[in-house]
Homo-oligomer: A and B are copies of this chain.
Amino acid sequence: MKDHAVSSNRAIQQTLATYGGLLVAILALLGFFGVFAKNFLTATTLLTMANSIPDITVVAVGMTLVLIAGGIDLSVGSVLALSACCLGWLMVDLKLPLWLASLGAIALGACCGGLNGWISAAFRIPAFIVTLGMLEIARGSAYWITDSNTKYVGSSLGWFSDPIAPLGVSVSFLIATAVVLAGQWLLHQTVLGRTAVAIGTNAESVRMAGIRTTAPMVTLYAICGGLCGLAGMMQSSRLSTVDPNSGVGMELSAIAACVIGGTSLRGGQGSVVRTFFGVLVISILQTGLAQLGATDPIKRIVTGGVIILSVLLDSLRKQSAIR
């Protein structure tokens, strides 16, 4: 009995050690805006926030997987836009049924991602440059298939992002949560996940151990691309529109969420759940500042400051814990 209590106590401590810094940051932000912004700490605001983060959450999960394996994907925003535009084209112009169109969009995202992974892994080219190229290519293609126009897709996708009556959260949000959990599971409980961590730690050693690295990298990038496609669907359904300009700059927000969550850009370290907390930090900050009606300069300065501070605090906490 006593043993059990001790071990659960230890589990709590460990959880606190893992998530503590981030939870404190999130609570501090909530508290701050709760005090200074009217109507911030209300169910409506929190639900609104919940329903507006699925897309970035899903993208950040994909990014986490890629970062942990020592890669990076700068093309997430463009691939999101391309998938969304493809979805619009399939639904509106080709009049395909929704499920087929969605499948097509996600598959297109996965292909873009897989291509990223294949080129960078098979030819040993820095992922940064490959995905930067893909950023341009996918964005260009998105303009091309939509003729640089936003396209109205109507409400056929609406159910995807409309709040479910009794819960208040949308299907998208539930899916995003599922993706987070699945991502964490993938990372810890599957061969692919452990291989990803290994490759991120030291790709050369992994090759020395006789393990092929190309196939897992392609799979991981394809997952990331597919998740961008899913995020594109989520965004389109929320706006009832597909927009070739969507997701501009998303790569930086996604990476910021990952790094705030403690994922290392050198690979080998990271956690999907913590990335989710990183997303929360960023979106609480955005929403709070918007509700305060802060001016643009202040918004940006504060955002920058909080990003640095949250990581700084976490690092100081860890250093003091070591001593």
List A residues at the B interface (Cβ < 8 Å): 74, 119, 123-126, 128-130, 132-141, 143-144, 148, 252, 255-256, 259-260, 264-266, 296-305, 307-308, 311-312, 315-316, 319
Contacts and interface: CB of A to CB of B under 8 A. Distances in A.
Contacts of A135: 252, 304
Contacts of A133: 304-305, 307-308
A13 B315 CA distance: 48
Contact of A308 (B129, B299, B302): B129
Interface-central residue, A125, A138, A264, by most chain B CB under 10 Å: A125
23 contacts: A74-B252, A119-B308, A125-B315, A126-B264, A126-B265, A128-B259, A129-B259, A130-B311, A132-B252, A132-B255, A132-B304, A132-B307, A133-B305, A135-B252, A136-B307, A137-B301, A138-B304, A140-B296, A140-B300, A140-B302, A140-B304, A141-B301, A144-B301
A313 to B, nearest CB: 10
A119 B307 CA distance: 13
A199 to B, nearest CB: 14
A297 B141 contact: yes
Contact of A256 (B119, B129, B305): B129
Given A133-B305, A305-B137, A259 B126 contact: yes
Contacts of A307: 129, 132-133, 136
Nearest to A145: B297
| Ranked 10 nearest A-B pairs via Cβ | A136-B304, A140-B300, A133-B308, A137-B304, A140-B301, A144-B297, A143-B297, A133-B304, A133-B307, A140-B297
Nearest to A147: B297
B312 A119 contact: yes
Contacts of A137: 300-301, 304-305
A311 B134 CA distance: 13
A59 B285 CA distance: 31
Contact of A316 (B123, B301, B308): B123
Contacts of A265: 126, 128
Contacts of A304: 132-138, 140
Contacts of A259: 126, 128-129, 132
Nearest to A259: B129
Contacts of A311: 125-126, 129-130
A298 B260 CA distance: 36
Contacts of A134: 304, 308
